[in-house]
């Protein structure tokens, strides 16, 4: 069972650190110049330079593997949330109301099929607008998490690589892809700033709500630029610093309007946890990109083409009935007025970005 965990085998891995060719012996990979050795974890190549799996997460991964044939993806989601709930209660901690875990679980179960679908739908609109081919040879999803985007991205590339630092998450992704009969995806444990792929071999990189978690987001963009084969693209989104809605990770209103130092203080006080998220604005993202790498063009907007289908979908309409009542003709009008697009994007909850090489 373990040996079948990878769906296809991508054999051109390079050393994530020095990008040298790796010597492969069975399931062992070694880099001569930097004397690093890599192996597989539960059948997934593991090229991480740091460890990101907590003990609880490894226990969850073991449980998934033990019950692999009996579990469905939805079972795995439930197990994940019930584990979180139990641990919060056992530790006498109440960072959020434990009842919230139920809500999170239900929200995830309700949305995992639709949100990934809308994401790839918006991506297609971006590519069309930039005269970029919709179908690519090789794509990477960096920070693929539980596979919500990957499931739909698989249809946009001949060969798709799902990258994440979390082992149990990749096991969930694996299950999701298997259940849906997806066979062109390779999963690999690796860090976004240290991708184990050769230079100039990737046609498109997707990175959903992950860049704000990198300790050095610039290093990730530089790495994207290295992997990119022209005419390639990176599609990503991040929570907007000046969002008119509460900050997505913490639920705190107006967090982005404070300085970075104050953000840390407020989060520690209100949530009781460390704050290691970089909140980007349109301007700060643009500056970071410009100081990091050369690229052909970039488009950043809070109201991309194709978002209508998501806004007016029944699930979203249930969550935000007022927004869904805005007449459909409004968004196309806003888009043809550059000043208005900028203004609304300034307060939009997330920014979608397409960078082209
Ligand atoms: Zn090396």
In the chain, where the domains are located: 2-240+280-356
Angle (CA) 165 295 284, round 5°: 70
Spell out the per-residue pLDDT of the chain, length 357, in tens: 343 444 555 668 999 999 999 998 888 999 999 999 999 999 999 999 999 999 999 999 999 999 999 999 999 998 888 877 777 667 666 555 556 666 677 777 777 777 788 888 889 999 998 888 989 899 999 999 999 999 999 999 999 999 999 999 999 999 999 999 999 999 999 999 999 999 999 999 999 989 999 999 999 999 999 999 999 999 999 999 998 888 888 888 889 999 989 999 988 888 778 888 999 999 999 999 999 999 999 999 988 888 877 777 766 666 667 777 777 788 788 778 778 888 888 888 889 999 999
How crowded is residue 164: how many other Cβ atoms within 10 Å of its Cβ? 28
Local structure of 316: helix, strand or coil: helix
Q: For residue 14, how far is its CA from the centre of ligand 1 (angstroms)?
A: 8
Q: Quick one: which of 275, 273, 286, 147 has its CA closest to 206?
A: 147
pLDDT, residue 118, reads 84
Dihedral sign from CA coordinates of 59, 60, 65, 67: positive
pLDDT, residue 81, reads 83
Q: For residue 17, how far is its CA from the centre of ligand 1 (angstroms)?
A: 5
Q: For residue 196, how far is its CA from the centre of ligand 1 (angstroms)?
A: 10
Q: Give the tokens for residue 192.
A: 């976004």
pLDDT, residue 3, reads 39
Q: For residue 350, how far is its CA from the centre of ligand 1 (angstroms)?
A: 37
Instruction: With beta carbons less than 8 A apart as the criterion, state whether 22 and 14 touch.
Output: yes
Local structure of 313: helix, strand or coil: coil
Helix or strand holding residue 190 (H, E):
none
Distance CA(77)–CA(110), nearest Å, equals 11
As its CATH architecture, domain 2-240+280-356 has 3-Layer(aba) Sandwich (3.40)
Could you tell me whether strands 350-356 and 228-239 are parallel, antiparallel, or unpaired per DSSP bridges? Answer: antiparallel
Residue count (the chain): 357
Dihedral sign from CA coordinates of 278, 279, 284, 286: positive
Q: For residue 146, how far is its CA from the centre of ligand 1 (angstroms)?
A: 29
Distance CA(66)–CA(14), nearest Å, equals 31
Exposure string over 334-353, b if 16+ CB within 10 A, otherwise e: beeeeeebeebbbebebbbb
Q: For residue 222, how far is its CA from the centre of ligand 1 (angstroms)?
A: 18
pLDDT, residue 272, reads 79
pLDDT, residue 316, reads 66
Q: For residue 237, how far is its CA from the centre of ligand 1 (angstroms)?
A: 31
Distance CA(157)–CA(25), nearest Å, equals 29
pTM: 0.89
Half-sphere exposure at residue 184, Cβ-oriented, CA atoms within 13 angstroms: 17
Q: For residue 45, how far is its CA from the centre of ligand 1 (angstroms)?
A: 15
Exposure string over 236-247, b if 16+ CB within 10 A, otherwise e: bbbbbbbbeeeb
Could you tell me whether strands 23-25 and 28-31 are parallel, antiparallel, or unpaired per DSSP bridges? Answer: antiparallel
pLDDT, residue 104, reads 72
Q: For residue 43, how far is its CA from the centre of ligand 1 (angstroms)?
A: 22
Q: For residue 35, how far is its CA from the centre of ligand 1 (angstroms)?
A: 7
């Amino acid at each position: 069972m373990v040996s079948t965990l990878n769906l296809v085998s991508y054999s051109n891995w390079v050393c994530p650190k020095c990008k040298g060719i790796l010597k492969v012996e069975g399931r062992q990979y070694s880099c001569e110049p930097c004397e690093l050795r890599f192996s597989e974890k539960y059948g997934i190549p593991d090229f991480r330079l740091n460890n990101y799996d907590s003990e609880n997460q490894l226990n969850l991964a073991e449980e998934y593997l033990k019950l692999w044939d009996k579990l469905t993806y939805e079972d795995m989601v439930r197990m994940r949330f019930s584990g979180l709930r139990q641990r919060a209660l056992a530790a006498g901690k109440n960072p959020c109301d434990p009842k919230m875990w139920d809500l999170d679980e239900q929200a995830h179960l309700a949305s995992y099929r639709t949100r990934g679908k809308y994401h790839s739908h918006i991506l297609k609109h971006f590519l069309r607008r930039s005269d970029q081919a919709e179908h690519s040879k090789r794509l990477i999803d960096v920070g693929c998490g539980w596979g919500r985007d990957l499931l739909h991205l698989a249809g946009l590339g001949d060969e798709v690589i799902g990258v994440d630092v979390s082992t149990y998450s990749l096991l969930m992704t694996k299950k999701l892809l298997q259940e849906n009969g997806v066979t062109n995806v390779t999963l690999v444990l690796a860090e976004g700033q240290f991708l184990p792929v050769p230079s100039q071999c990737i046609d498109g990189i997707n990175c959903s709500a992950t860049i704000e978690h990198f300790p050095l987001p610039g290093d990730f963009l530089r790495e994207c630029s290295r992997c990119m084969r022209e005419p390639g693209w990176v599609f990503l989104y991040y929570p907007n610093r000046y969002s008119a809605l509460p900050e997505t990770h913490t639920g705190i209103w107006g967090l982005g309007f404070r300085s970075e130092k104050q953000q840390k203080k407020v989060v520690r006080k209100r949530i009781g946890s460390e704050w290691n998220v970089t909140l980007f604005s349109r301007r700060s993202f643009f500056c970071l990109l410009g100081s990091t790498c050369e690229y052909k063009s970039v488009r950043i907007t809070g109201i991309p083409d194709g978002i209508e289908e998501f806004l007016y979908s029944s699930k979203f309409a249930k969550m935000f009935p007022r927004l869904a009542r805005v007449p459909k003709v409004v968004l196309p009008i806003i888009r043809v007025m550059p000043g208005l697009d900028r203004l609304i994007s300034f307060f939009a909850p997330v920014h979608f970005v397409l960078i082209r090489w």
